[in-house]
Structures are given as C-alpha cells and as structure tokens.
Homo-oligomer: A and B are copies of this chain.
Amino acid sequence: MNIGDVAERSGLPAKTIRYYEDIGFIKPRRGLNGYRHFDEKELHKLAFIGRARSLGFTIEDCRSLLALYEDKERASADVKEIAKQNLKEIDAKIADLRAMHTTLTHLIEECAGDHRPDCPILKNLGEI
C-alpha cells in the first residue's frame, strides 16, 4: 500500500502519517522510487493511534499504549491504569467547561443585548 491507501483506510491524513513516521511510531519500507510501502500491521498501528488520539490520549500516551499493544507480555492492568487516568482528565475538563457554561449563561441572561452601551458581560470581566 502507498500512503494514500493507508490514509484512506486509516482515516488519517497523509501528512499526519508522515508525521507519525517522523516521531517514530512506524517505519514503513521504501520502494526503489522512494515511496513508502505499508503492510497491514502498520495500517493497524495507525488505526490504533488514530482511535487513541480521538479518545483524548496524548501522543505520549499512545507511545505507552503502543508499547503495551506490541508487547505480548503486557499486563492489561497497565492499560487500564492509563485509561483510568485519562478518564479522570476527561472528567476534569468536563467540570471546567460546565463552570464556564454556567458563568457565561448567567452573563448572557443579564445582558440586554440591545444597543445600550451598558453590558454586564464586559463589566464582570473587568472586575478585579
């Protein structure tokens, strides 16, 4: 497979795949013309990374997960631990966003939204 096929099948842009090679996730062989050639295994690895990224795992998380994925001796406890940590971070982000939501909603409600120059949103933001 050339990079275009892998891009289509993995759902990742070709640019991103090259980037993932740069940072050492994959090492595809090269044809005589210099083109990258991918096998199914690399396709799976890329799909794996894509999924993990979309679940909010960082690149460094992916590195750990990939090491575990490839190591037949891996313990699922390790993976679970990483996932749990990730879940915690997701919860924290949700909490933050909810707080923002509440504050903003209040401000919007208080703001007349007509053309009067008095605006509680700006007022509130400027207070120390």
Interface residues of A (CB under 8 A from B): 9-10, 43-45, 47-48, 51-52, 54-56, 65, 68-69, 72-77, 79-80, 83-84, 86-87, 90-91, 93-94, 97-98, 100-101, 103-105, 107-108, 111-119, 121-122, 124-128
Contacts and interface: CB of A to CB of B under 8 A. Distances in A.
B117 A73 contact: yes
B76 A111 contact: yes
Contact of A122 (B69, B86, B93, B98): B69
Dominant secondary structure at the A interface: helix
B91 A101 contact: yes
A44 B83 CA distance: 42
A79 B117 contact: no
Contacts of A97: 56, 90, 93-94, 97
